[in-house]
Structure 1
Amino acid sequence: MKQLLIVAHAPSPNTRTLLQAVERGARHPEIEDVAVRVRAPLDAGPDDVLACDAIILGTTENLGYMSGALKDFFDRSYYPCLEKTQGLPFAFYIRAGHDGTGTRRAIESITAGLRWRLVQDPVLCRGDYDPAFESQCEELGLYVAAGLDAGMF
C-alpha cells in the first residue's frame, strides 16, 4: 500500500472545505492501493514525510507568503529529509486572497532545495472564494492519488 500524505493549513471554514475536497479526491473509491493520511502542518514532521510515497501541501497566502504553520513544518523537516526524500512526488494548492505568487515562489524554492518532483500544476485559488475551487482541489487529490496508484511516480 502506497502512502499519500496531505499536509495542509486550514484555519477557516473555506480552507477546511478545500482540504476536505483534496482528501475526497485522494480517497476516490477506484483508487485501491493508496492510503491517505491528513496532518496539520504543526502536527506533521520529518517522520511523516519519510514514511510517505507522495505529498500534497496546502496553505493560505499570508502577507504574500505561505502560512507560518507550513513554514514551521518545512523548518522542522528540511534537513532530516534533505538527503532521504529526493525525487519525492508532490503537489500543492494555495488559497490566495491576492495573487499567490510569493507563496508559490516560496514553496517552489524550498521544494527545489529538497529536490522534490512536482507532479501536478499547482492549484491557485485566487481572489474571493469561489465554489469552483473545491472541484479544482478535489481533482488535485484525485490526480496525485491516481498517479501514485498507477505507479506513474
Structure 2
Amino acid sequence: MKRLLIVAHAPSPNTLRLRGAVERGARHPDIENVDVVSKAPLETQPQDILDADAVIIGTTENLGYMAGLIKDVFDRCYYPCLEHTQALPFAFYVRAGHDGTGTRRAIESITTGLRWKLVQEPLICRGEYQAAFEEQCQELGMYVAAGLDAGLF
C-alpha cells in the first residue's frame, strides 16, 4: 500500500471545498492501493512526510507568498526530510486571489532544495472563486493517486 499525504491550508469554506475535492479525487474507487492521509499544516510532522510516497500541498496566496502555516511545515520538516525524501513525487495547488506567481516560485524553490520531483504542473486557481476550481483539484488528487497506484512514480 502506498501513502499519499495531502497537506492543505484551508482557512475558508472555499479552500475547504478545494481540499475536499483533492481528497475525493485521491480516493476514487478505482484507486485501490493508495492510503490517503490528509493533514492540516499544524498537524504535519516530519515523520508524516518521511512515511509518504507522494505529497500534495495546498495553499492560499498570502501577500504574494504561500500561507505562513505551509511555510511553517517546510521550516519544521526541511532538514529532517532533506536526505531521506529526494525524488519524492509531489504536486501542489494554490488558491490565488491575484496571479499566484510568488507562491509558485517559493514552493518550487523550497522543493528544489529538497530535490522533490514535481509530477504535475502546479494548479493555480486564480481570481474570483469558480466551481471549476473544485473539478481541477479533484483531477489533481486523482492524477497523483492513480500515478502512485500504477507505479508511475
TM-score where L is the length of structure 1? 1.00
- What letter corresponds to residue 19 of structure 1 in structure 2? R
Instruction: Give the corresponding residue for 1:57.
Output: 57
Alignment of 1:30-41 (within 5 A): 30-41=30-41
RMSD: 0.3
Instruction: Give the corresponding residue for 1:113.
Output: 113
Alignment of 1:4-153 (within 5 A): 4-153=4-153
Quote the offset at 1:45 in angstroms. Answer: 1.5
1:110 partner SS: helix
- Hey, what's the Cα distance between the residues in 2 that align with 1:46 and 1:105? 22
**Matched length:** 153
- Hey, what's the Cα distance between the residues in 1 that align with 2:6 and 2:152? 18
- Hey, what's the Cα distance between the residues in 2 that align with 1:18 and 1:122? 14
Write the deviation string for residues 88-118 of structure 1: whole angstroms up to 9, x where unpaired: 0000000000000000000000000000000
Counting aligned pairs with the same residue, the percent is: 74
TM-score where L is the length of structure 2? 1.00
Write the deviation string for residues 40-73 of structure 1: whole angstroms up to 9, x where unpaired: 0111011000000000000000000000000000
- Hey, what's the Cα distance between the residues in 1 that align with 2:20 and 2:5? 13
Please, which runs of 5 or more residues in structure 2 have no aligned partner?
none
Poorly superposed stretches of 4+, deviation over 4 Å: none
Please, which runs of 5 or more residues in structure 1 have no aligned partner?
none
